[in-house]
Amino acid sequence: MAILPLSLALAPICTWLLLASLQTSICAVSSRIPTTLEGPFKPVTAPLDNSLRRNAVDLPETDPRVQRTISSFEPEQVSVSLSAKYDSVWISWITGEYQIGDNISPLDPASVASVVYYAIFMSGRQHRATGSSLVYSQIYPFQGLQNYTSGIIHHVRLRGLKPNTLYYYQCGDPSIAMSGVYYFRTMPISGPDSYPARIAVVGDLGLTYNTSSTVDHLLANHPDLVLLIGDVTYADLYLTNGTGADCFACAFPGTPIHESYQPRWDYWGRFMQPLVSRVPIMVVEGDHDIEEQAENRTYEAYSSRFTFPSRESGSSSKLYYSFDAGGVHFVMLGAYIGYDESSDQYRWLEKDLASVDRDVTPWLVATWHPPWYSTYTAHYREAECMRVAMEDLLYNYRVDIVFNGHVHAYERSNRVYNYTLDQCGPVHIVVGDGGNRENMAITHADEWGNCPEPDTSRDPYTGGFCASNFTSGPAAGKFCWDRQPDYSAYRDSSFGHGILEVKNATHALWSWHRNQDLYRIAGDIVYLVRQPELCPIRRYNSLG
């Protein structure tokens, strides 16, 4: 058994206590934090707090945090994202105003230059980098629907950066207007003793008052990197006239195409700027980011506004890619694009995983949007086809942690593979509880009357439906368990975010922070411990 360093073992821990039938959440200082070496843990369901508002309310367009505060072609919606290695980042921003209505005229992207001035903080020597720009349009060729065209979106890649170094930068067009001065820190060099201190993980964020609370709590934890596990703005809960709804399925089914109100993306970019202009954000796509247009165009806003190190990581698609952050290798996968053995994504993933040197990046983390292991009724076993196609590959390469969103609640699994407890399987963590406008998930498929009919778990975007009754184990012959499954360690229907603190090549502290708790208090906390000697990598080839 690995020895936990004393400094790691003594830390605040928040625990749930059940006292005299009163459900009370308290924070206490515990002498130790549990580790996955003690698992599998007995399944726990946190008591539901009925005082929580489950339908979050969107920030209105009148909220000062989403309004345009600059004039002319000054940069706005400034953000930083990582390339594949520590030595390169992307700076993104928008100039000019979007247009929405019947008569839109796209701006000329070439009319405003894309320039970034940057330097190591206090070093004096300034560098200049140039990049590219684009506009995208959301065109609905239907009577009465409004069209949209974006401001000019700029992306500039900075290269040759030093690891773990604070840089300042300004972006814009020097002949028109430059931004204020912003700062970011590069990731540490990759190695078994080198990690970003804190990685924030959040999913299904949206732009509500709960989102605001999530981001406030996340900022209080001072992350070095933010992972957003899909479903960014929920602009697709709106008609093009700005009228909103509370869920995708009920969002105006009678209209000729599922509409989306693109200004919500601009509101989101403004709201997030204070965080993502200084902390790099890495995004993977969710179903709400698909935004189908005429002529089957999809992901226009998502793929235009963000940058992805796809080419740098050998991927031919913005919808799946990989990158390193210190000694952690992240693979960001697409659940709404081909994933079976004959797909480009699968072949890319095989190659990417085979190329990972675990002596350099011991930790392997995979993320995609809809979970394989969630026990909530919402989206229950919806991504089973992807699990069937890809689980062996991820298991054999010993993925340590999987992060998912999509289900609007929190859940942490025991180590699991093929629905069976397995000490070499990943820990699956669902953090789809960022606080978007749709309902929180509160019912569990294992509760009486809450097991969904298999057909209702079908999602048109996930490429088929593969879930069937279990063939072995306690739920053999049934679609759902009749108690919280053994593979589910902890679940809680609250909004929040998670923080991953990798300490060394074997130990990482995972904490989950609920919006209703005090800042920096953990609602769930555990050391995730790797055991490479017990679980050696098995080179895997789909051809046998």
Which range, of 11-19, 164-172, 287-295, 383-391, touches Fe ion by CB under 5 A? Answer: 287-295
Number of residues that bind Fe ion (CB under 5 A): 4
Q: What are phi and psi of 411, to 5 degrees?
A: -155, 135
- Nearer of residues 228 and 522 to Fe ion, judged by Cβ: 228
Stretch that binds Fe ion, among 5-13, 184-192, 251-259, 401-409 (CB under 5 A): 401-409
* Residue 382 binds Fe ion (CB under 5 A): no
**Annotation says 379 is catalytic:** yes
Task: Write down the catalytic residue from 155, 379, 408, 428.
Answer: 379
Whole-angstrom Cα distance, residue 500 to residue 46?
A: 21
- Indicate whether 371 belongs to the interface with Fe ion (CB under 5 A): no
> Among the candidate windows 238-246, 269-277, 403-411, 451-459, which touches Fe ion by CB under 5 A?
403-411
Cβ proximity of 264 and 207 under 8 Å: yes
Total number of residues shown for the chain: 544
Residue nearer to Fe ion on the CB measure, 229 or 356: 229
Stretch 74-113 residues interacting with Fe ion (CB under 5 A): none
Does residue 231 bind Fe ion (CB under 5 A)? yes
- Cis (ω within 30 of 0) for the bond into 64? no
- The answer to whether 84 touches 323, Cβ cutoff 8 Å, is yes
- Shortest reach from residue 478's CB to Fe ion, in Å: 26
The nearest distance, CB 234 to Fe ion, in angstroms, is 9
Nearer residue to Fe ion within complex by CB, 286 or 362: 286
Q: Which of 483, 492, 522 is nearest to 409 (CA)?
A: 492
Q: Which stretch binds Fe ion (CB under 5 A): 348-356, 406-414, 446-454, 475-483?
A: 406-414
User: Which two three-digit tokens encode residue 113?
Assistant: 């230059």
Determine, following the binding rule CB under 5 A, whether residue 362 of this chain makes contact with Fe ion.
no
Helix axes 344-355, 384-396, angle to 10 degrees: 20
Does 287 participate in binding Fe ion (rule CB under 5 A)?
yes
Cβ atoms of residues 426 and 203 within 8 Å? no
Strand spans (E) along 298-406:
321-325, 328-332, 363-367, 401-404
Distance CA 489, CA 414 (A): 5
Binding mask 26-55 for Fe ion (x = CB under 5 A): ------------------------------
How far apart CA 286 and CA 305 sit, in angstroms, is: 15
Q: Give whichever of 74 and 287 is closer to Fe ion, judged by the CB atom.
A: 287
Q: What letter represents residue 509's amino acid?
A: L
- For residue 366, what are the CA distances in angstroms to 60, 217, 370, 428? 34, 24, 12, 9
435 touching Fe ion, by CB under 5 A: no
Q: How would DSSP label each residue in 499-539? A: EEEE-SSSEEEEEEEETTSPTT--SEEEEEE--TTTS----
Q: Decide if residue 406 touches Fe ion (CB under 5 A).
A: yes
Q: Give the residue carrying structure tokens 């989101």.
A: 268
Q: Which is nearer to Fe ion, 318 or 406 (CB)?
A: 406
Q: Is 236 or 486 the residue whose CB approaches Fe ion more closely?
A: 236
Binding mask 177-216 for Fe ion (x = CB under 5 A): ----------------------------------------
Among the residue ranges 84-92, 228-236, 390-398, 419-427, the one whose residues contact Fe ion (CB under 5 A): 228-236
Which residues contribute to the site for Fe ion (CB under 5 A)? 231, 286-287, 406
Q: Which amino acids are annotated catalytic? A: 379
